[in-house]
Structure 1
Amino acid sequence: MPFVIRKIEPRYVGRGHVPQDATAADTWPVGAELGAVSNGCLANTLKQLAGLLNIAEDIFGDLTGELTSIADRSGALRRRIDRLEDQLAAIDPKKIPV
């Protein structure tokens, strides 16, 4: 089972939008439940998309940090290779005894 790092909320978009008390059910017109469920689902869908946007921003922030670290290490390695090439070019192979 994978380890959950980020969680999108609300998980269940279509639950709990019709009032359960008897007084509200008696005063509602016929078919009003459909409108309540539709509006609740739409609101929760927008909340879910907002949560997904925050998670995507977090993921891209992590990626930016990782790529910056890789770029820094690559630059340091390139400088080290250049320094070794300069040292190697300065060595005269005829002066080194074999």
Structure 2
Amino acid sequence: MTNETPAKTAGKTQKTVPVVTLIPIYPEPGKAPHPIGTSLTVAAELAQFWIDRKIARAVKHDAEDIDRVGPGVDKKTKLAPLPAAPAMTPPPTQPGA
């Protein structure tokens, strides 16, 4: 799915378009997905298909810095405290025990 050079089909070169992923995209079964925010160069038809379905967005040439989703991206966010555990009660007695 990713091409760094223009793809060739039947001796013709296809137009490629740079896109940025909005959801994880699996390149092939059994392989790890491309993470959110990954910049890929794909065929124009595939890029339009992904853009129409909100799978990826077109790359803006003025946007050099792309935020990637990952641990430690937002240092200001605090985790919510865990709720208190329910009271422990003994299990009911089993007949014949």
TM more than 0.5: no
* TM-score bin, normalised by smaller chain: under 0.3
Q: TM-score, normalised by structure 2?
A: 0.22
**Greater helix content:** 1
- Between structure 1 and structure 2, the one with the greater Rg is 1
**Greater strand content:** 2
